[in-house]
Amino acid sequence: MGEKGTQTRDSLLDATQDLIETAGYFGTGLNTVIAAAGAPRGSLYFHFPGGKDQLVTEALRRGGQEVSALMREVAEAAPDTAAAVTGLLDALADRLEASSWRKGCPVATVALDISASSDTLREVCSDIYRSWESALAARLSADGHPTPDDTATAILALIEGALLLARVHQQREPLERVKRVVATLL
């Protein structure tokens, strides 16, 4: 694939990633993706012959990888898990606020929309969440925490819930409260 083809493919993925995060699976139509990407209709089917589900799958994976990279970046600079989670919450709060409260978790909207009707997309969402839990559990384990798996799940649930509440309330306070709870928990 040439440079122009790669740019078109990336534009379609960028547009899809933005749209699914803000509007969910059902709120993201292919015509909207094409318009947002500024791409010809034929390029969508050329790059994503599996249609909308392939496009959404790849966009979800990209979003999941971006959060994973953010988690790694914050964790490398943090002395312990509590500081890593606090740093992650700050970064996610900044991202949410910068998007005018439209972008919380890059996976949650699709997970909520589609988990009961598409095993393929549900599994993609599950894989992403599991990778984040594993990263948290590994850090907790390295810090000597007695129940790293259970605590990782609890922390991820706190983060996801706080992102939802912050998005709905259009304020950082739910994320700030979770930071205080995480400090107590760890």
The full set of domains in the chain, from first to last, is 54-185 (1.10.357.10)
Question: Do the beta carbons of residue 13 and residue 58 sit within 8 Å?
Answer: yes
Question: Do the beta carbons of residue 106 and residue 23 sit within 8 Å?
Answer: no
Whether residue 115 is predicted with pLDDT greater than 90 in this model: the reply is: no
Helices (H), the chain: 3-23, 30-37, 41-47, 52-77, 81-98, 108-114, 119-142, 148-169, 173-185
pLDDT band at 175 (very low <50, low <70, confident <90, very high): very high
Whether residue 1 is predicted with pLDDT greater than 70 in this model: the reply is: no
Q: 76-105, pLDDT tens digit by residue?
A: 999 999 999 999 999 999 999 999 999 989
What pLDDT score was predicted for residue 34? 94
Q: 130-141, pLDDT tens digit by residue?
A: 999 999 999 999
What pLDDT score was predicted for residue 116? 80
Q: 141-153, pLDDT tens digit by residue?
A: 999 999 999 999 9
Handedness of CA 41, 31, 63, 97 (dihedral sign): positive
Whether residue 171 is predicted with pLDDT greater than 80 in this model: the reply is: yes
pTM of the predicted protein model: 0.91
- Measured in degrees and rounded to the nearest 5, phi and psi for residue 115 equal -60, -30
Using alpha carbons, select from 176, 50, 24, 166 the residue that is nearest to residue 106. 24
